[in-house]
Structures are given as C-alpha cells and as structure tokens.
C-alpha cells in the first residue's frame, strides 16, 4: 500500500507544477536545452492563458513521454533528474542492482515445486534465477519469511503499463488519447489479466497454505472452463489475486532479463495477442463508423 501511495504522490499534478519550471537554462545529458522564456516569446498573445496545475502536469508528462519514446529509458530518467521531481533519481535508476528474491531455506524447502519447469514452459521463458519465479507465485499465506508476490506485483503493474503503451502508441496514430487510454485499460484490467492467468494455467502453480485460496482457484477455473465451452463472454468476476500473480511474473521476468523491456514484451505479448486483436479491431471499426458519419455530415452541409 505504501508503494502505491508513494507512486501516486510522485506523479501528482502539484509535484509537476512545483518542479517543472527551472530557474535557469540548463542542459541535460542529451544536449537538449530548455530555454523557456525564448519559447514563450514565440507564442502569439491570443493563445496565452493562465495555466492550471493540470496543464503543467500534462506538459511534463508529455515531455517525459517524448524523452522515453524517442531517446529511451535513460534519457527519460535524466529528464526526471533535471526537473528534480524525485530527488537524485539517477543514483538508483541508472545503476545496476541485484534484487534478492525470497530464500527457501530449512523447513521451507518443501515449498519449491517440482513442476517449476512446467510453469516455465507455460510462460514460454526459462528463468536464469528460478527463485524470482518462485517468489512471483508465492502467496502471503505460505509464510515464507514474510515474503510474497506483492513486491514483484507492484513492479509488474507499472511495467505492464509501460509495455502496453509502447506497443499501442506507435501503431494507432489515428486514435485519440481517450481511445488509447481505453485500449490500454482493457489490456491491463484485472479481468484480462485474470483470464490470462487461467488460460496459461499459472493458477495451478500458486504456492499457498490457505483453504480460501484453494476454493477461489477451483471456482475461477470452473468458471473459465464453462466460458470456454459455451464460447461466450460470460464476463465473470475474477479474483484480483490471479491478475496480481500475472503482474508479479512480469516483474520477475523483467529482473531476470536484466531490465530488458523488449525481451520482456516479446515473451509477454503473445499472452495478450488475442485480447489486443479483439479490442483493437473493435475500436478501429468504431472509428471508421465515426469517420463515415462525419464525412456524411460534411457532405450534407455543403450540399
């Protein structure tokens, strides 16, 4: 909970407002020089208006997106450091670090599943450090020295947003921001992630000592099988745990692949392909209908 609260606090509009306008013309590592007063002189007076907090926040987010999409992760971090949004972010975002997963020692050695290779086969990826995968599927009820999938789920949740955005942004240049947000929300929503968990069979590998988790897993599996057999979208409510486990596995992959976004997405995207194709096709068809409607209105107006 504290991690999410900190994430929300950092990305709040007031933080962007307070840090977005530097006191001097500085240069970040890319050599891009921000000369704010010179830029403002080029804006016609008629287009100037008092800015709101959200205006500055949106502008800063757009600049971060530009740095990330055009120049990569490290330049985006340089920009965050430049506007001093999070303090000296370079000290812990641009250095190599070793994440230590939970250790299965002593009596907890029996928690290591013999079916780990089967799980990796389902995921389509073999871990160099299997302990990361074990942590990613360990429920808090297993009582493994206070460790569960929750930390990796926090990481995977943020990563999935980045991966999906980087995929859909360049592909759908005709989509409005609201449409891009809808497409992203559909792909990262719990229902989609939960179905992926059940479809891949990850749910059968969740390590737990809980009768409640056992019942939830059995119920979710029965509902998913019924949906597949009926070939209809029942839209059943899937427990958040299953979506969280998918996100934690993505976080574990990211660390195991030494923070390689492209490699992670090459493994993860096939999980989402079916859902992406379905919703993107639906949204494209709706956009074509709107275009035809607007064109018909123009024709009727000029007639």
Chain centre distance of CA 194: 15
Q: Map residue 228 onto helix, strand or coil.
A: helix
CB 228 within 8 A of CB 250: no
Dist. CA 155–CA 207, nearest whole Å: 20
Q: Of the residues 81, 153, 247, 256, which is catalytic? A: 247
Containing 245, the helix (H) or strand (E) segment is helix 240-256
For the question of residue 25 being annotated catalytic, the response is: no
Burial class (CB in 10 A: 0-12, 13-18, 19+), 146: exposed
Residue pair 188/161 in contact (Cβ under 8 Å)? The answer is yes
Cα(153)–Cα(156) distance, rounded to whole angstroms? 5
Distance (Å, rounded) from C-alpha 125 to C-alpha 128? 10
Alpha-carbon torsion (13, 5, 164, 77), positive or negative: positive
Angle at the Cα of 245 from the Cα atoms of 239 and 247, rounded to 5 degrees: 110
Count Cβ atoms within 10 A of the Cβ of residue 191 and give its class: 0-12 exposed, 13-18 middle, 19 or more buried. Answer: middle
Paired tokens of 169: 């942004």
Give the active site residue among 157, 161, 287, 288.
157
Sign of CA dihedral 215, 216, 217, 221: positive
- Residue 114: active-site member: no
Closest by alpha carbon to 131, among 118, 146, 116? 116
Structure tokens at 83: 């506007």
Active site (catalytic) residues: 157, 247
């Amino acid at each position: 909970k504290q991690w999410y609260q900190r994430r929300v606090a950092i990305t709040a509009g007031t933080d962007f407002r307070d840090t977005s306008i530097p006191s001097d013309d500085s240069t970040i590592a890319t050599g891009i020089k921000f000369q704010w007063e010179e830029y403002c002189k080029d804006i016609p007076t008629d287009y100037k208006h008092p800015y709101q907090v959200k205006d500055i926040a949106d502008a800063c987010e757009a600049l971060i997106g530009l740095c990330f999409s055009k120049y990569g992760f490290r330049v985006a971090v340089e920009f965050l450091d430049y506007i001093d949004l999070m303090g000296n972010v370079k000290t812990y975002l641009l250095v190599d670090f070793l994440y230590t997963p939970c250790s299965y020692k002593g009596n907890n050695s029996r928690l290591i599943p013999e079916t780990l290779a089967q799980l990796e086969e389902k995921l389509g990826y073999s871990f160099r450090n299997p302990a990361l995968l074990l942590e990613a599927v360990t429920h808090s009820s297993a009582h493994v020295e206070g460790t569960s999938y929750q930390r990796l789920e926090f990481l995977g949740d943020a990563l999935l947003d980045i991966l999906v955005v980087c995929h859909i942004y360049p592909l759908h240049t005709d989509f409005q921001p609201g449409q891009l947000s809808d497409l992203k929300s559909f792909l990262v929503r719990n229902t989609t992630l939960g179905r992926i968990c059940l479809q891949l069979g990850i749910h059968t590998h969740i390590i737990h000592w809980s009768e409640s988790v056992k019942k939830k897993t059995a119920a979710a599996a029965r509902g998913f099988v019924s949906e597949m057999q009926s070939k209809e979208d029942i839209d059943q409510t899937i427990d958040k745990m299953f979506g969280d486990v998918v996100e934690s596995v993505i976080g574990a992959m990211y660390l195991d692949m030494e923070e390689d976004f492209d490699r992670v997405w090459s493994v993860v995207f096939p999980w989402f392909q079916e859902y992406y194709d379905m919703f993107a096709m639906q949204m494209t068809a709706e956009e074509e209908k709107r275009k035809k409607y607007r064109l018909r209105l123009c024709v009727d107006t000029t007639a």
